[in-house]
Amino acid sequence: MDEEILQLLKDAPSAFLSGWEISRRLKVSRAAVWKRIERLRASGYEIEASTRSGYRLVQSPDLLTPSEIIPGMKTKWMGKKIHHFQTVDSTNSKAYQLALNGAEEGEVILSESQEKGRGRMGRQWFSPPSLNLYLSIILRPIIPPPQVPLITLMAAVATADAIQKFSGIIPQIKWPNDILLKGRKVAGLLNEIHSEMDRIHFVILGIGVNLNTDEKKFSKEIRSIATSLKIEMGQTVSRKVFLQSLLLEMERWYSIFLEEGSTVILNAWRDRADIKGRQVKVTSFGETVVGTAIDVDSDGALILETGGGKQRRVMAGDIEYKK
Ligand code: BT5
């Protein structure tokens, strides 16, 4: 009902709406209306109340609820349905469940915080409340399963472009899927797939972007390697506006992928990663390999030259730049 009251107030911008009118339209008591207004105020909405005229919405907080996000959304289909939570274990796990139960392509799962935000290989994603973005997008591409790694590359390109358009700072993609600003990690992606041998049921694109975490608020372990848009831009960032442009970029790049195929995506990724020819140390399943990065192929694998003309293909792992 909070959402319904909000919608009524938003439909009457700068005008007062009487408590009587709201209770009539929603078929609830005046006391129930008052209680809900108090709740909305507690979540940050500034609502003016006058005994004669009723209620008027003065200002909305930077919340990620559907009624805040959807009206300003410029996408055609992505994010037209948003599932918003105060907290979840992981938006990816939530999205997976919803997708198993039939959620459609383009539905987005957002949470203000995550209790068990996940990184790759059992690692954690630091997810403090109400500052950043933690979201998962459900996709149902009709493509052969071996092409899924391209979607992962595509998602990194889209996230990097959204960050660049929003901040004016050029990010760098670090293999496989970190987004860095001035060498520090500002966003990470965790993509998961549910498929059979020859058919994809769905792909979950999980994206975490640090928007408003201050340096001191990062946990000690990641303080020296992480950054946020606020730190780099020197100003607080609207999560709502950033999310709207992220989804627009994601929808744009996803249709480029579906319509134009792998070459465009691979080239866009290469441009933003600038990895060719760099000396790297790769840690993969406990093993360390040093070499020169040659390229990334359409499986998302990193191709390394390890000396004496030998090449190695690394499917998963982490890299460190040597120079
Ligand atoms: C990732 O893993 O970078 C993928 C992160 C994906 C997070 C999103 S949030 C929404 C969705 N739901 C989820 O549960 N997950 C996704 P990886 O490459 O394994 O990096 C993890 C490592 O990054 C950690 O071990 C830390 O060193 C570092 N890290 C953790 N939290 C961070 C943060 N908030 N900012 C920067 N670095 C962080």
Our answer on whether the CB atom of 188 is closer than 6 Å to any ligand 1 atom is yes
pLDDT at 61: 85
Pocket test residue of 110, 113, 125, 227 for ligand 1, highest count of atoms within 8 A of CB: 125
Torsion over CA of 7, 10, 12 and 17, rounded to 10 degrees?
A: 70
- CA separation, residue 279 to residues 236, 253, 266, 290, 297 (Å): 36, 30, 20, 7, 18
pLDDT single digits (tens) 279-290: 999 999 899 999
**pTM of the full structure:** 0.91
Q: Give the Å distance between the CA of 124 and the centre of ligand 1.
A: 6
pLDDT single digits (tens) 20-69: 999 999 999 999 999 999 999 988 899 999 999 999 999 888 889 998 89
Average pLDDT over residues 107-123: 96
Our answer on whether the CB atom of 96 is closer than 6 Å to any ligand 1 atom is no
Nearest to residue 189, comparing CAs of 155, 215, 226? 155
Nearest to residue 8, comparing CAs of 41, 33, 35, 43? 33
pLDDT at 106: 98
Residue type, 312: R
Q: Give the Å distance between the CA of 244 and the centre of ligand 1.
A: 21
Give me the percent of the chain exceeding a pLDDT of 90.
85
3-state secondary structure of 21: helix
129, two tokens: 């409340």
Our answer on whether the CB atom of 114 is closer than 6 Å to any ligand 1 atom is yes
Our answer on whether the CB atom of 128 is closer than 6 Å to any ligand 1 atom is no
Our answer on whether the CB atom of 210 is closer than 6 Å to any ligand 1 atom is yes
Residue 156 has pLDDT above 90, yes or no: yes
pLDDT single digits (tens) 175-193: 999 999 999 999 999 999 9
Average pLDDT over residues 266-275: 94
Q: Give the Å distance between the CA of 178 and the centre of ligand 1.
A: 9
168 CB-near residues (< 8 Å, 6+ apart): none
Torsion over CA of 124, 128, 132 and 136, rounded to 10 degrees?
A: 50
pLDDT at 174: 95
Residue 13 has pLDDT above 80, yes or no: no
Q: Give the Å distance between the CA of 234 and the centre of ligand 1.
A: 23
Q: Give the Å distance between the CA of 114 and the centre of ligand 1.
A: 11
Our answer on whether the CB atom of 227 is closer than 6 Å to any ligand 1 atom is no
Q: Residue 278's CB: how many other CB atoms inside 10 A?
A: 16
Averaged pLDDT of the chain: 94
Residue 252 has pLDDT above 90, yes or no: yes
In this predicted model, which residue has the larger pLDDT, 97 or 4?
A: 97
pLDDT single digits (tens) 208-241: 999 999 999 999 999 999 999 999 999 999 999 9
Nearest ligand 1 atom, CA 89: 14
Nearest ligand 1 atom, CA 213: 34
Q: Give the Å distance between the CA of 118 and the centre of ligand 1.
A: 6
CA torsion through residues 291, 207, 60, 68, sign: positive
Our answer on whether the CB atom of 92 is closer than 6 Å to any ligand 1 atom is yes
pLDDT at 60: 87
Tell me the chain's radius of gyration from C-alpha atoms: 22
Residue 245 has pLDDT above 90, yes or no: yes
Average pLDDT over residues 5-14: 87
Q: What is the DSSP string of 8-20?
A: HHHHSTTS-B-HH
Nearest CA to ligand 1 atom 9: 208
Our answer on whether the CB atom of 148 is closer than 6 Å to any ligand 1 atom is no
pLDDT at 1: 66
